[in-house]
C-alpha cells in the first residue's frame, strides 16, 4: 500500500545560541524520517522578536515546505521532538529560544483544535513567516490571500533583514550580517 503524502508548511526560528547552525541542523532533523520529504527551503532572514519579553536577541527565521504521510498531530509531535533535541525551553511565552518550529499549514486542512489550529492562527499577520514562504512559493495563498500581499501588510515587515550566515551567536552578529533589505 502506498502512503498518501500531504504538503505542509513549517516555519522555523531561533534567537539563542548558534542560530544559523541550529536552523540548518533542524531542517535535516525534520526531514530525517522517511515520512517527511523536503520540497523547498527559504533563505534565512533576520528579524526583531515579535511579542514576548522586551530586549530579546534578534531571530533568524526561515520556512520549509515538506510533504508528509504523518497525520497533522504526528507532524506536530515530530516538530516538538526536533525542538527538544535542540534544547528548546518553554519558560516564558514567546520568550527567547534555541528553536521554534510551527506547523503553518497542512494541505488545505482547517482545524480549530487548541493543540494544533490550522492554518496557524497568527501566520497571516507575521512577515517573518510570510516573506520567506513567498520566496519559495510565490503563488501560495493563506485564507484566500496571496502571502506576499499579507507579508507586505504585516506590522513586522519593516524589521526583516537578509542574513548572510557569518558570525552568528545569540542573536548578535559578530561579522558580515546584512542589516538592510
Write out the catalytic residue numbers. Answer: 88, 97, 100, 102
Alpha-carbon separation of residue 60 from 3, 7, 48, 98 (angstroms):
34, 23, 9, 10
Q: How many CB atoms lie within 10 A of CB 112?
A: 8
What number of CA atoms fall less than 13 Å from residue 98's CA on the CB side? 16
Taken in order 39, 41, 47, 53, the sign of the CA dihedral is: positive
Asked if 152 contacts 141 with a C-beta cutoff of 8 angstroms, the reply is no
Using only the alpha carbons of the chain, give its radius of gyration.
16
Amino acid at each position: 500500500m502506498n502512503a498518501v503524502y500531504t504538503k505542509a508548511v513549517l516555519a522555523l526560528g531561533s534567537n539563542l545560541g548558534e542560530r544559523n547552525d541550529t536552523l540548518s541542523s533542524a531542517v535535516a532533523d525534520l526531514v530525517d524520517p522517511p515520512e517527511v520529504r523536503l520540497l523547498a527551503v527559504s533563505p534565512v532572514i533576520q528579524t526583531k522578536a515579535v511579542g514576548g519579553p522586551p530586549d530579546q536577541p534578534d531571530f533568524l527565521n526561515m520556512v520549509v515546505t515538506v510533504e508528509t504521510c504523518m497525520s497533522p498531530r504526528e507532524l506536530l509531535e515530530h516538530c516538538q521532538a526536533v525542538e527538544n533535541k535542540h534544547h528548546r525551553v518553554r519558560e516564558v511565552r514567546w520568550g527567547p529560544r534555541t528553536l521554534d518550529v510551527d506547523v503553518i499549514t497542512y494541505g488545505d486542512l482547517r482545524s480549530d483544535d487548541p493543540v494544533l489550529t490550522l492554518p496557524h492562527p497568527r501566520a497571516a499577520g507575521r512577515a517573518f513567516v510570510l516573506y520567506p514562504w513567498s520566496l519559495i512559493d510565490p503563488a501560495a495563498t493563506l485564507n484566500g490571500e496571496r502571502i506576499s500581499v499579507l507579508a507586505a501588510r504585516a506590522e513586522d515587515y519593516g524589521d526583516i533583514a537578509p542574513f548572510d550566515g557569518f558570525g552568528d551567536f545569540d542573536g548578535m552578529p559578530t561579522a558580515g550580517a546584512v542589516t538592510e533589505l
